[in-house]
A = this chain, B = another copy of it.
Amino acid sequence: MTDEEFLATYDPHAYAPVAVTVDVVALTIRDGRLCALLVERGESPYAGWRALPGGFVREAETLDSAALRELAEETALRPGEDALDQVHLEQLRTYGDPGRDPRMRVVSVAYLAFAPSLPDPRAGGDASSAFWVPVDEIGELAFDHTAVLADGLDRARSKLEYTPLATAFLSAEFTISELRAVYAAVWGEDLHAGNFHRKVLSVPGFVESTGATAARGGERGGPKARLYRAGDARLLHPALLRPTREEDVR
């Protein structure tokens, strides 16, 4: 930026005011289905519509901590609790079209959160209006949040391919089948159990064995599975690629 331009706005009243907010696409898996956290708006504009949780960035906080704070407020979890510390949070994209909020210019930094199954905000007794909704049952959202959610889902689906983030949907110890269920829920397609097993164990640093086995077998039978925890890899080599679909190539 040139300084002439900067000085023109050094007096904050000289330019049209801009508000900076964060919105969070928080994803979790409940009952084998990929769900997003939504809130219901009480006031105009878009009163009665559903929207992504979010809010204003405060004066002394970073964008990351603003997103984490908003997530904590809506899920009624307090910072420092285990469940919240396990959440993976990353910046998604920034949305700033003029007119995306009818009241004033709002630039919104969207975040993507992957969480292990969290308690239902309603069950906490808190007066929160947030709830988890399966992503395939979400209709139109307020503002441009429909597009933000779609971008978040795209990002989540492709991040599972080349990073170990699927483990962020699970608790500290998990079985290979639970991991496969995460991939199936996020990608929306079943995976070959044998091949998945082989590939996960062949990727260095993806998972490491705890030596223990699960307390019981599957819901409807089967042997007790071995337990694993997340390894130290930050990238998967080789990647777990989705079955190639013609339509995304174009």
In the complex, whether A2 has a CB less than 8 A from a CB of chain B is yes
In the complex, whether A109 has a CB less than 8 A from a CB of chain B is yes
Kindly identify which residue among B56, B107, B235, B244 contacts A1, using a CB–CB cutoff of 8 Å: B56
Residues of B within 8 A of A233 (CB): 249-250
7 contacts between A and B (CB under 8 A): A1-B55, A59-B105, A62-B97, A96-B109, A232-B250, A233-B250, A235-B249
Q: Assuming A2-B55, A93-B91, A104-B10, is B98 touching A250 (CB within 8 A)?
A: no
Kindly identify which residue among B15, B55, B94 contacts A109, using a CB–CB cutoff of 8 Å: B94
Q: Assuming A10-B103, A56-B6, A249-B235, is B21 touching A1 (CB within 8 A)?
A: yes
| Number of chain A interface residues as a range | 35 or more
* Alpha-carbon separation in the docked complex, A96 to B61 (Å): 9
In the complex, whether A205 has a CB less than 8 A from a CB of chain B is yes
* Alpha-carbon separation in the docked complex, A42 to B15 (Å): 23
Of A96, A204, A205, A232, the most chain B CB neighbours within 10 A belong to: A96
* Alpha-carbon separation in the docked complex, A233 to B250 (Å): 5
In the complex, whether A41 has a CB less than 8 A from a CB of chain B is yes
Q: Which A15-30 residues have C-beta < 8 A from chain B?
A: 15-21, 23
Q: Which A128-145 residues have C-beta < 8 A from chain B?
A: none
